């Protein structure tokens, strides 16, 4: 069938779309080597051909998006929108883009030989950004086509609350209870999908529970010699096949809870080195270095006691502001001088992260184009490899 227009003759089309959808389109088109205008054109054709009702795309907070469609196609598209109950043009374009994205998954998904890759964010010091970096990295991984489970493993539950979800009640089933063999049913029943933004049903949260404060004491008194280290892995085993990555926001602790998280991130038999491991968020100041020394000693003790390899994947220097002068700049230089593990990301101290927390929104949804979000995406691409 001959098209009623010359495919090379294009006209400019302007719509209002949410920044998260625009960013997902930009990333996916770049991954596949496709021009954005061609991706949108293909999506519009698919949308016009499929007249079945489609789920609405959240277009609230949209801003200007422009591309080029073959001449005549936009006119036909607008007529279709009218025929489908006066569907807003912005919604029609958003649905077309969503249709194209769903039909063209990210090529970065990789086969797994031993379950999901386990990435934990740990530091004995509080306030260094474990929650913000683990959440942002999980969001960026999901945005790039990976299926991700984000675990709030901190009994304070900052991650759960910052994303706008309630903590599990102390009498409810929880990850801690599954680790201790005190829960019936399935752990997957506790997972919460994070639907905002460009995550496309690929990002899930395992919320914190108030009973997690008791986990260290119960692990310490367990009669099983090895339950202290293997409890998290055994609880997570039924879920791993469903995900590409499990990202764990660890507590600011050096206790048994941290041991079980570190063991979970070890390199498993048959798994390539640094496929899983530990990221250490730090600040550009001396107390972070003291806390890292304690975490390093804990990791080395576990490596020697258990005969395992735990990869230190890198430092993430958080809340960096060169305007603070010598203390900040010299501290950053010292982190870089360590060499192994390397500094893999430097996150600037900007207001967008604080605003996202205040509004209980994922950073990559609230401010997808800010510098912090771009750093998270760069780190996610590094992790995917």
pTM of the full predicted structure? 0.76
DSSP letter string over 289-355? Answer: HHHHHHHHHHHHHHHHHHT----EEEEEEEEE-GGGTHHHHHHHHHHHHH-SSPEEEEEE--HHHHH
174 phi-psi bin (left φ>0, alpha ψ -120 to 50, beta other): beta
Residues 154 and 290 in one domain: yes
Q: Find the CATH number of the domain harbouring 171.
A: 3.40.50.300
Q: Which two tokens stand for residue 226?
A: 């090895």
Contact 338, 324 (CB under 8 A): no
- For 37, the domain range is 10-103
Contact assessment for residue 284 and residue 333, using Cβ atoms and an 8 Å cutoff: no
In a shared domain, residues 169 and 270: yes
Does the residue 271 lie in any domain?
yes
Domain boundary among 45, 70, 103: 103
Residues 333 and 376 in one domain: yes
pLDDT 10s digits, 236-270: 999 999 999 999 999 887 788 889 999 999 999 88
* Residue 169 CB-density burial (10 A; 0-12 exposed, 13-18 middle, 19+ buried): exposed
Pairing relationship of beta strands 192-193 and 203-206 according to DSSP bridges: antiparallel
Q: What is the pLDDT of residues 294-337, one digit of tens each?
A: 889 999 998 998 889 999 999 999 888 777 777 778 888 888 88
CB distance 235 to 179 below 8 Å: yes
Which of the two residues, 326 and 154, has the higher pLDDT score?
A: 154
Inside any domain, residue 375? yes
Judge if 98 and 124 occupy the same domain.
no
Q: Is a pLDDT exceeding 90 seen at residue 21?
A: no
Instruction: Please state the domain count of the chain.
Output: 2
Question: Are both 232 and 339 inside the same structural domain?
Answer: yes
Strands 312-320 and 343-348: parallel
Domain boundary among 73, 103, 133: 103
Residue with tokens 């020697």: 304
Same domain? 80 vs 142: no
């Amino acid at each position: 069938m001959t098209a009623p227009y010359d495919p090379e003759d294009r006209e400019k089309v302007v719509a209002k779309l949410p920044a998260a959808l625009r960013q997902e389109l930009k990333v996916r088109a770049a991954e596949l080597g496709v021009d954005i205008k061609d991706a949108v054109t293909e999506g519009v054709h698919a949308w016009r051909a499929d007249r079945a009702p489609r789920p609405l795309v959240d277009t609230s907070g949209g801003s200007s998006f422009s591309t080029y469609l073959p001449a005549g196609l936009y006119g036909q598209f607008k007529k279709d929108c009218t025929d489908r109950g006066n569907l807003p043009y912005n919604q029609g374009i958003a649905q077309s883009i969503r249709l194209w994205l769903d039909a063209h998954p990210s090529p970065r998904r990789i086969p797994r030989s031993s379950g999901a890759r386990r990435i934990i964010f740990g530091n004995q010091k509080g306030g260094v950004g474990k929650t913000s970096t683990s959440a942002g990295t999980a969001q960026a991984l999901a945005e790039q086509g990976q299926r991700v489970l984000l675990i709030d493993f901190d009994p304070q539950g900052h991650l759960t609350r910052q994303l706008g979800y309630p903590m599990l009640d102390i009498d409810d089933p929880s990850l801690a209870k599954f680790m201790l063999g005190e829960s019936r049913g399935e752990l997957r029943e506790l997972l919460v999908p994070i639907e905002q933004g460009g995550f496309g049903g690929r990002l899930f949260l395992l919320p914190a529970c108030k009973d997690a404060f008791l986990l260290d004491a119960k692990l310490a008194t367990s009669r099983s010699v090895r339950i202290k280290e293997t409890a998290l892995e055994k609880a997570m085993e039924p879920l791993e096949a469903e995900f590409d990555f499990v990202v764990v926001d660890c507590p600011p602790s050096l206790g048994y809870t941290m041991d079980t998280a570190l063991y979970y991130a070890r390199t498993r038999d048959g798994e390539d080195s640094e496929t899983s491991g530990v990221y250490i968020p730090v600040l550009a100041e001396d107390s972070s270095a003291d806390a890292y020394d304690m975490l390093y000693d804990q990791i080395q003790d576990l490596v020697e006691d258990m005969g395992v390899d735990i990869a230190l994947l890198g430092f993430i220097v958080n809340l960096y502001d060169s305007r603070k002068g010598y203390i900040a700049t010299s501290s950053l230089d010292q982190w870089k001088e360590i060499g192994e593990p390397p500094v893999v990301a430097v996150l600037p101290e900007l207001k967008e992260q604080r605003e996202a927390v205040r509004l209980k929104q994922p950073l990559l949804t609230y401010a997808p184009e800010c510098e912090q979000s771009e750093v998270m995406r760069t780190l996610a691409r590094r992790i995917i490899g």
